[in-house]
């Protein structure tokens, strides 16, 4: 049986850290960088060097409120992914700081695992990885993230249906698929690294574009991850993951019944050793 055709799609503006890692991760997982599509938000954004045969699309940057910009971005990515699925079997649509992995215990690489799955979409369990300010040194960007970071907030904000096996329409931030329920796959994890290092992420937190467009409140919430991880009593991940999946499967926000609700208490886990070095 031939390998399926899969692609990964992202969009970014003013990225200073993640794109080379995103390209390396998904290029390896999908069998080549020619399967990757990157949308640059703005003609003022330079085309990064050294990416190889990645497909780059530059779009005009249209200033807007955070909510409006997120909705527009989701529509654009849905439309582009819909077209690409005429020649692909599987779509992975993420932010540039989000990395989809399959549990090594599942026994498959990511592409083979996704190809064996069923259903229009699949959601991974969301893990918001951040720096433990008391125990973890500043990040060395040249080394794998998961050799240097070992804690994550189990967050419904990143339990997202980022995998599609047929054309779908994502809602704002790709947090849900319009007109569909979601299913959390038992072996997929979406690692969010937006706050992976306090010093390296400081420029993002101070980005004037984001503050002008109404992101200040969101960025303040993002900064709380450092406190959440540093002051938590971490749980044993493999014991807690099934509980987190059950909660996020059955408890939904009343305003959006097709996406999961946050778990009270900001649970933090120590990542399993088998994840070390995967990203």
With 0-12 / 13-18 / 19 or more C-beta atoms within 10 angstroms meaning exposed / middle / buried, residue 272 is: middle
Average pLDDT over residues 244-259: 90
| CA nearest to 115, candidates 18, 213, 3, 205 | 3
| CA nearest to 133, candidates 222, 219, 199, 194 | 199
* C-alpha–C-alpha distance, residues 160 and 123, integer Å: 5
Q: Does the structure show a pLDDT above 80 at 1?
A: no
Coil vs helix vs strand at 182: coil
Indicate the DSSP class of residue 123: E
| CA nearest to 16, candidates 192, 207, 222 | 207
How confident is the prediction for the chain on average, in pLDDT? 90
Residue linked to tokens 């790709």: 174
Give pLDDT, residue 262: 92
Q: Does the structure show a pLDDT above 80 at 151?
A: yes
Give pLDDT, residue 153: 97
Question: In angstroms, what is the C-alpha Rg of the chain?
Answer: 18
Give pLDDT, residue 253: 86
Indicate the DSSP class of residue 53: S
Residue 11: count of CB within 10 angstroms of its CB: 21
Give pLDDT, residue 220: 63
Per residue in 42-71, pLDDT (tens digit) is 999 988 889 999 999 999 988 888 788 889
Domain residue spans in the chain?
A: 6-275
Average pLDDT over residues 4-19: 92
Give pLDDT, residue 33: 97
In the 3-class helix/strand/coil scheme, how is 87-107 assigned residue by residue? CCCEEEECCCCEEEEECHHHC
Burial 75-112 (b: 16+ CB within 10 A, else e): eebbebbeebbeebebbbbbbbbbbbbbbeebeeebbe
What lies within 8 Å, CB to CB, of 35 at 6+ separation is 5, 6, 7, 8, 26, 27
pLDDT class for 167, splitting at 50, 70, 90?
Answer: very high
Per residue in 172-231, pLDDT (tens digit) is 888 889 888 889 999 999 999 999 998 888 766 566 665 465 555 555 677 789 999 999
Give pLDDT, residue 98: 97
pLDDT class for 129, splitting at 50, 70, 90?
Answer: very high
């Amino acid at each position: 049986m031939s390998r399926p055709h899969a692609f990964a799609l992202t969009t970014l503006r003013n990225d200073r850290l993640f794109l080379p890692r995103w390209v390396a991760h998904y290029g390896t997982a999908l069998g080549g960088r020619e399967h990757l599509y990157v949308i640059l938000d703005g003609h003022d954004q330079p085309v990064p060097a050294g990416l190889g045969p990645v497909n780059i699309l530059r779009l005009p940057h249209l200033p807007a409120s955070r909510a409006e910009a997120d909705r527009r971005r989701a529509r654009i990515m849905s439309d582009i992914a819909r077209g690409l699925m005429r020649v692909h079997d599987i779509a992975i649509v993420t932010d540039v700081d989000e990395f989809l992995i399959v549990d090594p215990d599942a026994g498959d690489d990511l592409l083979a695992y996704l190809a064996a799955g069923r259903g229009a979409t699949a959601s991974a369990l969301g893990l918001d990885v951040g720096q433990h300010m008391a125990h973890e040194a500043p990040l060395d960007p040249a080394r794998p993230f998961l050799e240097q970071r070992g804690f994550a907030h189990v967050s419904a904000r990143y339990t997202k249906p980022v995998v599609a096996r047929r054309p779908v329409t994502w809602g704002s931030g790709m947090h849900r698929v319009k007109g569909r329920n979601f299913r959390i796959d038992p072996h997929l994890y979406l690692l969010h690294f937006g706050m992976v290092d306090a010093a390296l992420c400081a420029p993002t937190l101070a980005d004037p574009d984001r503050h002008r467009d109404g992101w200040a409140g969101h960025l303040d919430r993002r900064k709380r991850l450092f406190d959440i991880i540093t002051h938590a009593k971490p749980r044993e991940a493999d014991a807690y993951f099934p509980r987190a999946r059950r909660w996020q499967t059955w408890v939904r926000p009343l305003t959006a019944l097709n996406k999961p609700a946050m778990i009270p208490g900001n649970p933090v886990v120590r990542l399993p050793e088998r994840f070390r070095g995967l990203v």
